[in-house]
Amino acid sequence: WLRGGGKQKVSESAYRESVARVREYLNQVVQEIWWTDRLNRWNHGPHFPYWMTHFTDSMPISSIGGIWSAELFNPKYASHVYKVTVAVDFLGNIVWICPLAPGTSADVLIWDGYGPSRTKGEFFDYEVGGHDGAYKGRLNVIAPFIGRKNLSDRQQCYNDVHGFYRARIEQVFCHLWHWGLVRNTWRGGANELHQFVRILLHFTQFRIRRQLRYAPYGPWDHVPPQVWTTDDQDDDNCVIDVDNDVPDVCVLCCHKRKTTACG
* d(C-alpha 62, C-alpha 188), whole Å: 12
For 83-122, what is each residue's pLDDT tens digit?
889 999 999 999 999 888 888 888 988 888 888 777 666 7
Res 64: pLDDT: 56
For 44-74, what is each residue's pLDDT tens digit?
999 998 889 999 999 888 765 545 577 888 8
Mean per-residue pLDDT of the chain = 78
103 or 7, greater pLDDT: 103
Cβ-based neighbours of 100, under 8 Å, separated by 6 or more: 61, 82, 83, 84, 190, 193, 194, 197
Residue type, 9: K
Residue type, 109: L
* d(C-alpha 253, C-alpha 126), whole Å: 7
Residue 229 has pLDDT above 70, yes or no: no
Alpha helices in 3-149 (DSSP H): 12-29, 107-114, 116-119
Phi, then psi, of 74 in degrees rounded to 5: -115, 115
Res 232: pLDDT: 46
Res 62: pLDDT: 72
Lowest-pLDDT choice from 41-50, 128-137, 157-166, 186-195:
186-195
* d(C-alpha 94, C-alpha 34), whole Å: 8
Enter the pTM of the model.
0.78
